[in-house]
Structure 1
Amino acid sequence: MSGRNLTLTLAAVVALFIASNSLFIIKETERGVLLRFGEVVTPSLEPGLHVKIPFVNNVRKFDGRVLTVDSQPERFFTQEQKALIVDSYAKFRVDDTAKFYTATNGEESRAAGLLAQRINDGLRNEVAARTIQEVVSGERDELMEIITRDLDKVARTELGVEIIDVRVKQIDLPPDVSESVYRRMNAEREKEAREHRAQGKELAEGIRAAADREVTVIEANAFRDAELIRGEGDARATAIYADAFGQDPEFYSFTRSLRAYGEAFQTQGDIMLLKPDSEFFRYLKDAGGPN
């Protein structure tokens, strides 16, 4: 290789090295700052191709998307001094790149740790001013709004990040408290069940007594009506018989004698001891009967 070609090759390598260390790209999903010997000279680099001075300038890039900081569950005390285990998280985004770099050295993990500490401090203060009922359901949304607003002010000022939202994932009682609460709730439910069963039994007895009383009244009324109907029927039958037999008393006497004979001699071997001139044999001795 000739000296001219070697020189051109070295020049091309040097130019390529300088270009690779002079040009850099900021993506749409990134934020960045331009440094000069560690000092911020361009606080917010727009997405696109940029130029820097090799060995003089340095570039720090940060994720410009919405990030999540997941805090560890912490024990907080309510207004009644009741312990709660609160698990929370927050959504944030880099807002002031220069302040973010200065406060965290551009480390997302460090920013997440600082935010988690501030979230826990805010939750501790807000939970301490409320009852369990208010924290769990009554004022939970209001509590999140207050913490998000206050934390956003602090985070913008101190860390250069915007707090988008703070949410509580889960609120639990400590294990030692959960067992006692469960036992108390179980005892209350058993007491309530016993009361309901007693009320049901009392109501059932009342319904059963009312039904028995109604049955007795219905049966008495039915028996009364039956007796009245039977009495009316017997009276009517007696009247019909009296009217019929009154038209021929002798025939009535004859039929009565026949009925008496039939009832007296129902089975074979029946024996009756009567005088021959007894009135009982009147129609047996004279078919025509007495005149």
Structure 2
Amino acid sequence: MNKNTLNIGLILLFVLAFIGFNSLYVVTEGTKGIVTRFGKVVRASDGKLEIVDPGLHFKAPFIDQVKALDVKIQTISSSADRFVTSEKKDVIIDSYVKWQILDAATYYLTTAGGNKMQAEELLRRRINNSLRSQIGRLTIHQIVSGQNSGKNTSTPEDDNVFDSTDSEVVAVASQSKRDEVMQNALKDIGASAKALGIKIVDVRIKQINLPPEVSNSIYQRMRAERDAVAKLHRSQGRKEAEAIKAHADREVVVKIAEAERQARTLRGEGDAEATRIYAQAYKQNPQLFEFLRSMDAYKKSMTSGKDVLVLKPDSEFFKFFNNANGAKATN
């Protein structure tokens, strides 16, 4: 084998490897593949688009191209939009949609070759229209507070009803207006999205706000209501405080009066007892008793040393000064 033959063999091997590499392609898990040839979709023998499942596949090299479509659940987060309620008032609602490619062939044909941005734009329009129709039939109070739309009318007998055909328990449950809006929107969009080859998994309202001008007026009204309630509570508190204070003052007066009454009673009893003792002492030795009382009077009247008494020398007060027996001095 000469050198030229070896080079030609290597070139042929390289070309075959290159052609073989371009003849193989892989569709990853969670995607579907659509093969196009010269820009046109390859169809099966029955005329339908040929959808390629995940795995390793062959294609015509150089002329076939593979378009991968993501069939996993995806999310469309719509920007907050303004809606009008039945009261002709505006609310700002932020929502999102969970969707998934159901029919890859239909999706590819209706979205200009599987253009995800176009598909999401179509879904945004439809969810917006559905929500606008739903919100237009409700009031702000029903939307924000989640007022129940129905009452549970089932009876105890109805609660025990069991449908054996589909093995499901029949129950009547109440639901909020907000849940009702989301469920109705899911039904509306789900029906129209099938025409795009799309399955709507879920529709949710993330947030409901009021426009700034409406919010400010509501906050001011709420503030005024709270201020009125606060004033009412404060006035009731002052009223109760005055009642408690008056009751306490009355209790103080009553207790002081009772204490003074008891003190007078005790003082009277003490004075009576002292008088009784004095009387008994006087009966036992009148002269000694009179002498002790006079000494006590002298002591109390001359305690400071600066007392001045204007009395006659023969006054009864000084009788014990002149005579230890208390007899008055005679001239």
Cα distance in 2 for partners of 1:146, 1:82 equals: 21
Measure how far apart 1:211 and its partner are. Answer: 1.6
Measure how far apart 1:56 and its partner are. Answer: 7.4
Cα distance in 2 for partners of 1:40, 1:74 equals: 42
Cα distance in 1 for partners of 2:294, 2:8 equals: 165
Give the aligned partner of residue 166 of structure 1.
203
Cα distance in 1 for partners of 2:294, 2:84 equals: 110
1:42-81 per-residue CA deviation (whole Å, 9 max, x = no partner) reads 4432111223446876543211222221212211122332
1:151 counterpart letter in structure 2: I
Give the aligned partner of residue 31 of structure 1.
32
Cα distance in 2 for partners of 1:279, 1:47 equals: 140
Write out aligned runs for 1:95-174 (5 A): 95-105=102-112, 106-138=114-146, 139=176, 140-155=178-193, 157-174=194-211
Match for 1:220 among 245, 248, 257? 257
1:108-153 per-residue CA deviation (whole Å, 9 max, x = no partner) reads 0011001111111121122222232332341334433332343223
Q: Does 1:247 align with 2:254?
A: no
Structure 1 gaps of 5+ residues are none
- TM-score, length-normalised on structure 1? 0.83
2:257 counterpart letter in structure 1: A
Match for 1:69 among 63, 76, 80? 76
CA RMSD of aligned residues (A): 3.1
Instruction: Report the CA distance shift for 1:159/1:286 in structure 2 as closer, same or farther (over 3 A).
Output: same
Measure how far apart 1:107 and its partner are. Answer: 0.5
The residue matched to 2:56 in structure 1 has which SS? strand
Measure how far apart 1:23 and its partner are. Answer: 3.3
- TM-score, length-normalised on structure 2? 0.74
2:77 counterpart letter in structure 1: D
Match for 1:90 among 90, 97, 103? 97
Cα contact 1:40–1:98 (8 A) shared by 2:
no
Cα distance in 2 for partners of 1:108, 1:192 equals: 55
1:188 counterpart letter in structure 2: E
Cα contact 2:42–2:50 (8 A) shared by 1:
no
Measure how far apart 1:202 and its partner are. Answer: 2.0
The residue matched to 1:28 in structure 2 has which SS? coil
Measure how far apart 1:269 and its partner are. Answer: 7.4
How many residue pairs are counted as aligned between the two chains?
287
Cα distance in 1 for partners of 2:309, 2:212 equals: 102
**More off after superposition, 206-215 vs 183-192:** 183-192
1:214-254 per-residue CA deviation (whole Å, 9 max, x = no partner) reads 11111111111121122112211211211221222232333
Cα contact 1:18–1:54 (8 A) shared by 2:
yes
1:107 counterpart letter in structure 2: N
Cα contact 2:83–2:90 (8 A) shared by 1:
yes
1:111 counterpart letter in structure 2: A
The residue matched to 2:52 in structure 1 has which SS? coil
The residue matched to 1:31 in structure 2 has which SS? strand
Cα contact 1:83–1:173 (8 A) shared by 2:
yes
1:243 counterpart letter in structure 2: Q
Cα distance in 2 for partners of 1:158, 1:96 equals: 9
Tell me which protein shows more helix as a share of its residues: 1
Structure 2 gaps of 5+ residues are 147-175
